[in-house]
């Protein structure tokens, strides 16, 4: 009975202490909304501006023109495919490819026609997503007053969505069917024209620029081999089959060569840092939210 009375007598003191604690936390939370959120947004903008600049590095002395970079693929003597690719921003402006034909000493040579260049959609999309994230951040300048943690979280979720999409475009190349590759506009860009038994594809995988070359052979109409259409894939293996213009083909050889593009690696690092900053701010908001939902009495 005595303990019960003591507990009741302590309630006002505990309640008063709780109110003081709540007032302190409310003051800290208001400071977070007023000051720290904007400091994080400024930091995010700085990092993402650096990421955005990586997509459009100007030529030295020619600020209006994007820098051209040459990349050598397949430098090993064992590589049957060798290439020199010229990347200018999101576009491959030149490609020079040598292919050693299997079971032959012949080397085939192809290069882009002078009037052609190939847009790497992955880089273009990633850049657009980064710029959309920057637009979201710039719409809340230092004069803007965030009223609730939910409002901050909503902005962070929208920014993180764009950053995740940007990263996914660089880390996840498009899956294509073999007929899609065969009829791609890329096949019409070369001089001399690609023969009907060779296909190529370019794509980005993380920070690497990749070149795929497929050698094909035609399956005879009366073949007894079980024919099965290959589905969509980033990489098709030898033995994959497809049909095009009433002809059936099988992939006989696959060659992949790649090289690192340093500024793509920088971009991925900036995206990771930005996503971490967003999550850290959301975590701080969450700490306060969990207190508001906790009622000791």
Q: Does residue 270 lie in a domain region?
A: yes
Q: In the structure, what pLDDT confidence band is assigned to residue 4 with cuts at 50, 70 and 90? A: very low
Number of domains in the chain: 1
Residues 118-153: tens digit of each pLDDT: 999 999 999 999 999 999 998 887 777 888 888 889
| SS3 category, 100 | strand
What is the reported pTM?
0.82
- What does the pLDDT average to over 259-272? 94
160 lies in some domain: yes
The Cα–Cα gap between 137 and 212 comes to 38
Domain that includes residue 149, residue range: 22-54+122-168+263-292
- Domain assignment present for 191: no
Q: What is the token pair recorded at 114?
A: 């002078």
How far apart (Å, rounded) are the C-alpha atoms in residues 234 and 108? Answer: 24
294 pLDDT band, cuts 50/70/90, is very low
In-domain check, residue 32: yes
CB 97 within 8 A of CB 118: no
In this predicted model, what pLDDT tens digit does every residue of 204-237 receive, in sequence order?
Answer: 999 999 999 999 988 888 776 788 888 889 999 9
CA 24 to CA 26: how far, in whole Å? 5
The CA angle 22-23-25, to the nearest 5 degrees, is 65
Q: Is residue 156 included in any domain, yes or no?
A: yes
Q: Which of 57, 112, 48 is nearest to 89 (CA)?
A: 57
């Amino acid at each position: 009975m005595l303990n019960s009375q003591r507990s009741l007598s302590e309630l006002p003191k505990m309640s008063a202490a709780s109110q003081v604690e709540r007032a302190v936390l409310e003051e800290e939370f208001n400071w977070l909304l007023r000051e720290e959120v904007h400091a994080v947004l400024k930091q995010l903008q700085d990092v993402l501006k650096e990421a955005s600049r990586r997509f459009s590095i100007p030529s030295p002395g020619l600020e209006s023109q994007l820098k051209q970079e040459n990349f050598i693929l397949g430098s090993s003597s064992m590589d049957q495919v060798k290439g020199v690719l010229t990347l200018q921003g999101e576009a491959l402006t030149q490609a020079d490819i040598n292919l050693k034909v299997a079971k032959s000493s012949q080397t085939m040579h192809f290069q882009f026609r002078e009037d052609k260049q190939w847009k790497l959609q992955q880089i273009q999309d990633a850049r657009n997503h980064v710029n959309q994230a920057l637009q979201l951040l710039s719409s809340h300048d230092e004069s803007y007053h965030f009223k609730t943690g939910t409002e901050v979280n909503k902005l962070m979720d929208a920014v993180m969505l764009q950053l995740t999409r940007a990263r996914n475009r660089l880390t996840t190349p498009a899956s294509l069917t073999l007929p899609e590759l065969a009829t791609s506009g890329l096949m019409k860009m070369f001089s001399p024209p690609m023969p009907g038994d060779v296909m190529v594809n370019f794509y980005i995988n993380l920070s690497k620029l990749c070149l795929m070359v497929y050698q094909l052979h035609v399956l005879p109409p009366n073949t007894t081999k079980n024919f099965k259409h290959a589905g969509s894939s980033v990489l098709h293996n030898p033995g994959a089959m497809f049909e095009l213009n009433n002809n059936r083909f099988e992939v006989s050889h696959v060659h992949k060569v790649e090289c690192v593009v340093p500024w793509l690696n920088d971009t991925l690092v900036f995206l990771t840092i930005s996503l971490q900053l967003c999550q850290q701010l959301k975590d701080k908001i969450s700490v306060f939210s969990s207190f508001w939902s906790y009622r000791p009495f």
